[in-house]
Structure 1
């Protein structure tokens, strides 16, 4: 599948060494890379459908300081969707109240028919982009009924129920930023780790520093991060994802089909 990374802090920090370590995993995740640096006044999002280790553009980016307090990174091992730029993470969309949302995903949606209606609306053809469109639709509906913008506590409560429902029989390791706060969810054992220190919070599929204090993210919970702290934490749900032989065979068959279509990956 994919690997995901985020950094959340109360003030901008340089994260180049973490990013270099993260993108070094691209040999096993060759189908694209992405980077999002979410500032208060603008979002810088860059992505390419090439192996991160082969990207001259990424080398140029990492040759200069990457500084921010809300940063996402992604390397893709495709399980749904072709190897094209619109299918690379992060995905972003503006909601009806002009908040810019950003999402990265490690996992696969095997069964959630409610996402099907977004196939004609997305720019690419991934389940991950459809997740973002679906969640924003629900936020828009909630705020329309309320008649005003929601606060982070209300959005957390709404997303908690939506993500719990989405996670049933699906792998759903998610990182989401709504322009104000960050949301983290994992439902597979030992598939996401975090490090809390004086700089903030680092979260990644595998540790990206030599620090011995990395710990597994608690599964089946939604966390809300703000300024390098856990602002909110949900109760545990019961939808732990355990990969079946059938699902693994499906994923491997899809990856093999991409290799046949595209030859050797860049």
Structure 2
């Protein structure tokens, strides 16, 4: 599948070392990389459909200080969608109130027919991009019914419902940003970890160093972060994802279809 990363803090920090450790995992996730940094209320996004450790562009980025309060990164092991730039994470989209949303995903949607209608609207052909388009539609519907922009808490409550429903029979490790709030969700054991320190809040698919304070993200809950602190925490849903032989077979068949038998070479 993929690996995901975010850094959330109250002041801009340089995080090159963390990012370098994260991107070094791309030997097992060779199908693309992405980096999103919030600067002055807009995303600065770079991504390519190549292995991160082979990217001269990424080397150039990391040769200079990467400084930010809200930084997200992704390395891709494709399970749905071609190995092309539009399928690399992060994905971004505007809602009807011109709010910019960003999403990165580690997982696969095996069963959620409601996403199928977005296949003609997305720029690429991934289930992850369809998740974002679905969320945007639900936010637009809520705000149209309210006849006013949503509050931060209203958006968190809405995404709590959406994510709980999406997570049924699907692996849904998500990081989402709406310009105000960073949303974190995991529903598979031992697949997402966090480290809270004076520097800020780090979240990654695997611990990035030997610090003993890395802890698993609590399962089946949505968390909302601002300025390096959890400000919202949902109730727990019941949709833990457990990878079965059937899931593994479906993923392996897809990987063979795009890269033959040398997918990890």
TM-score interval w.r.t. the shorter chain?
A: over 0.9
Q: Which residue does the alignment assign to 2:34?
A: 34
Alpha-carbon displacement from aligned partner over 1:194-244 (angstroms, at most 9, x marks no partner): 000001100000011331100000010000000000010001100000011
State how far apart, in whole Å, the 2-side matches of 1:227 and 1:145 are. Answer: 30
Check if 1:133 corresponds to 2:133. yes
In structure 1, distance between residues paired with 2:31 and 2:145: 40
How far apart, in 2, do the equivalents of 1:146 and 1:127 lie? 29
Structure 1 CA distance, aligned partners of 2:183 and 2:41?
A: 20
Task: Identify if the C-alpha distance between structure 1 residues 167 and 88 changes in structure 2 by more than 3 Å, giving closer, same or farther.
Answer: same
**2:109 alignment counterpart:** 109
CA contact (8 A) 2:256 2:263 kept: no
Q: Distance in 1 between matches of 2:180 and 2:4?
A: 20
CA contact (8 A) 1:177 1:183 kept: yes
Match in the other structure for 1:211: 211
Runs of 5+ consecutive residues of structure 1 not aligned to the other structure: none
Q: TM-score, normalised by structure 2?
A: 0.98
- Aligned pair in 2 of structure 1 residues 245, 114: CA closer, same or farther (>3 Å)? same
Residue 75 of structure 1, CA deviation: 0.1
Note if 1:226 corresponds to 2:226.
Answer: yes
Structure-to-structure mapping, 1:128-207, within 5 angstroms: 128-207=128-207
**Structure 2 CA distance, aligned partners of 1:36 and 1:119?**
24
Q: Which whole-Å CA distance do the structure 1 matches of 2:57 and 2:209 have between them?
A: 24
Aligned length: 265
- Report deviation, 1:265: 7.8
Runs of 5+ consecutive residues of structure 2 not aligned to the other structure: none
Moved over 3 A (4+): 263-266
**Could you say what the CA RMSD is over the residues aligned between the two structures, in angstroms?**
1.3
Aligned counterpart, 2:85: 85
Tell me the equivalent position of 2:67.
67
Please name the residue that 1:54 is paired with.
54
Relative to structure 1, is the Cα distance of residues 254 and 202 closer, same or farther in structure 2, using a 3 angstrom cutoff? same
The residue aligned with 1:21 is: 21
How big is the shift at 1:123? 0.1
Q: Are the equivalent residues in 2 in contact too, given 1:30–1:51 (CA < 8 A)?
A: yes
- Map of 2:2 onto structure 1: 2
Task: For 1:132 and 1:72, locate their aligned partners in 2 and report how far apart those are by CA, in whole Å.
Answer: 16
8 A Cα contact 2:94 2:100, kept in partner? yes
